Amino acid sequence: MIVDEDGELYTPPIWVDFMHIDWENHVRLDLPGTQRDLTRLELELTEGRRIVIYQEDADDAGTIDDLVTAGTGHFDPEESRWVAIVDWDSVRHVSELPQRAADRYKRYRHVS
């Protein structure tokens, strides 16, 4: 789930490429688009911090329906980079989220 116990997003959505993974299937957080979002949102990655990550997607009709999940920040000392530990079974399209979580997400992403 992308929201905390109060129903608020852990963080504003941060763009990632879900295919940019390491050997342990962790999402690497060092692509320029991800770094741009972190800088723009003034978010600092810390060990164990829950973050909302997404990748653009659309349905067959072309309607925006991003893939989204929450990940846990982790600094990988072997690769010397930040990654998000993801439960891949939790990745959902926004249209599959509970309405309140979807509404919170859309508020930040400016999608209807």
pLDDT range class, residue 109, cuts 50, 70, 90: confident
* Mean pLDDT confidence for 59-76: 95
How many whole angstroms separate alpha carbon 26 and alpha carbon 68? 15
* Mean pLDDT confidence for 17-22: 97
* Mean pLDDT confidence for 13-27: 97
Neighbouring C-beta atoms of residue 56, cutoff 10 Å: 12
Average pLDDT, the chain: 95
* Mean pLDDT confidence for 80-102: 97
* Mean pLDDT confidence for 67-92: 97
Three-state secondary structure call for residue 38: helix
**pLDDT over threshold 80, residue 48:** yes
**pLDDT over threshold 60, residue 41:** yes
In 27-66 the beta strands, taken as DSSP E runs, fall at 27-28, 50-55
Contacts of 88 (CB under 8 A, 6+ apart): 25
What's the pLDDT score for residue 1?
A: 87
Amino acid at 83: V
* Mean pLDDT confidence for 77-85: 96
